[in-house]
Structure 1
Amino acid sequence: MAELESGTESPTDEPERIARPRRRLTFLGIVVAVLVLLFGMPWWALVVSGPQWPVPVFVAGTVVILGAALALPVSMILGHGPRTLDWAARVGDTTLGVAWVLFTWTVLGLVPRVVLAVAGVENPLRARIVAGFVVGVALVLVAWGVVEAMRVPRVRVTEVVLPRLGRGLDGTRVVLLADTHFGPIDRARWSARTAAAVDALEPDVVCHAGDIADGTVARRHAQAAPLGDIRARLARVYVTGNHEYFGEAQGWLDHMAELGWTPLHNRHVTVERGGDGLVLAGVDDATAGASGLPGHGASVTGALAGADPRLPVLLLAHQPQQVRAAAAAGVDLQVSGHTHGGQIWPFHYLVRVDQPTVQGLSRHGERTQLYTTRGAGFWGPPLRIFAPSEISLLILRAG
């Protein structure tokens, strides 16, 4: 059979060439549907259906909602696409957060609408009362959510009993950070205050469970710098999250090493105190294998290769769903982030579809426990609503 000429598509390329435009159209259709739902429902419920606003109010409400609906996709493309313009990301992320809160409470506003209807309150008064309630609640929650997102995380203390932990390590203080998400909003001062809060806990071990930043080391260098000031008696360890693989995962692994941390890139270290040992192991994020980066891909087996099987294991893995592999390997405790505790209520219900847990301590199998932190920072919208950030202090207890 004659070879295909150089530059000629093979027959196997034809289905892919046909499927590509279909996928783009499907994606575009989904985006349009989401925008129509996200902005269309508040517009219909608050502006059009029932309130009978004066023309200036109707026009102003329509312009604001329509303008936001058009600005969102443009700013998100400019901010999170190839150009990665931070100002555009800030606009898009904030618009998305406000729209989500307004949409959520517009849906919940159906309850007082029904109650008022049963009570005999007629339109336009009924619709105007509900509109005022929805907008008022949304404004309060957005303002509160910004404060919660920008504050130094609260310390959440949890005692974790590990039956295989030696008495020499009883009371070991493990501080868990995750999801710092240094990004378009410059949070260098927040980073310094958070690092100081970690230091004040006098940790034995500090873990960063990934999603350190959105962007390259060069762009987020100043925000990440305070991590180098954190001290720990036994070890400072770090693993990649899924967001590192949107930027430069290997760059962040190398930079954390430069800051004095130990990157656990499918490997482990052993710490000792009082004659007893604890294996600190770490794996790449669950998405690492699909990133195409040579040598990247989560491997619990690789992380534990050569570890003393008699010692308890604390495993860093960014996503809670990675606990399945951890339980199969007999890990004693996995620490994870990724979920943000839902970040903006009621988004945690969607997170729960993808992850086995959203926050806190849980058990998986006979031996393995999982602690999922709500994370220190935020991604996208600078809001945290009913999902406060945290610095997790885990006090390990011998069984």
Structure 2
Amino acid sequence: MSPSVLPPLSLYIHIPWCVQKCPYCDFNSHGLDRRKDQTLPEQAYVQALLQDLEQDLHWVQGRKLHSIFFGGGTPSLFSPQAIDQILAGTAQRIPFEDNIEITLEANPGTVEQGRFEGYYTAGVNRLSIGIQSFSPDKLKRLGRIHNRHDAIRAAESARKAGFTRFNLDLMHGLPEQTEQEALADLQQAIDLQPDHLSWYQLTLEPNTAFYQSPPPLPEDEILWQIQESGQAMIHQAGFRQYEVSGYSLPGSEARHNLNYWQFGDYLGIGAGAHGKISQLNAAGTGLDKIIRTTKYRSPKQYLSAIQPLSDQKIIQQEDLPLEFFMNVLRLKEGVPEALYQARTGQAIASTEPILQHLRQLGLLQTGTGRLATTEEGFSYLNAVLEQFLSAE
């Protein structure tokens, strides 16, 4: 095995600050303290990111970068000049693939036309715009800082700035949301002509304000109707569901996310960023181990760290089946069977009893040469994955 047959390598860059923390968000994000007139430590953070990347270069192992994703928090709080510095510094350290995808998450309440143009000039070629809803009432309930006009203007500004690829991030099952309201949100998003939609149900995650004080959510019957009607609307508009919450026009799948779901490798830099790396053995003939990395969560601690790596964890052999399948089975088409050994270093025969049981239950496809769920299995994905969890 050589570096050329290692998994593709992506880079995730975490920007941890927001204007304010949303009550449903469980990501490592930190609202700016306006009472203290807090300002972004933009330049200090740019330098910390590049130092962080420098210390991770031994994981590259001769590969080029397949994709880059700026997530958060709210990356669009950073100036185009800062994003340009980060991308230029990254390119000096790791070569890019010719068709690299570079995505930046943007909040409609923090962007303007000139900013989008600046990001595009810096090398960003895809945006993910966090709309969540177009309803004034629902946006207020979600703690969002933008309004309906901001959301529509952001999508229009992205196109004017030159972006042919942009995702709209939309949630359903919002507090007291009706089916009609959810579908109106979805239709408005489709009308803005993105090439990709992330459409998913609001869930109450631990360590969030909503979890501590749950808002009144729609009944299960309404949630089911929203899901059924919404997916039909999305399909009618020409989008294809290719993963659990991802819908794209043909050829517009998010390459960065696909690399995650295909158990590819990614470096993670920034406060609280996670990475997953496959390491070759000394002879370069096979995988030695797969490692997950985590960086300091606290932005203050991250900025002051001499070495911003807080944890490394080798994925144990007995945990690899669950780790692999909880990613690849998110994809409607799954992956070729051969990918299991290529990405884990294990023979697929080790998982055959579980796979056979799932096929007998009608939850996993048979005779296709692929590791993929059936339609029923995709609908009950958690139950499928529990089979691998119980086998540990």
Where relative contact order (Cα < 8 A, 6+ residues apart) is larger, the structure is: 1
Shared fold per TM-score greater than 0.5: no
TM-score tier by shorter-chain length is 0.3 to 0.5
Which of the two has greater helix per residue? 1
TM-score by length of 1: 0.32
**Structure 2 length as normaliser, TM-score?**
0.33
Greater Rg, structure 1 or structure 2? Answer: 1
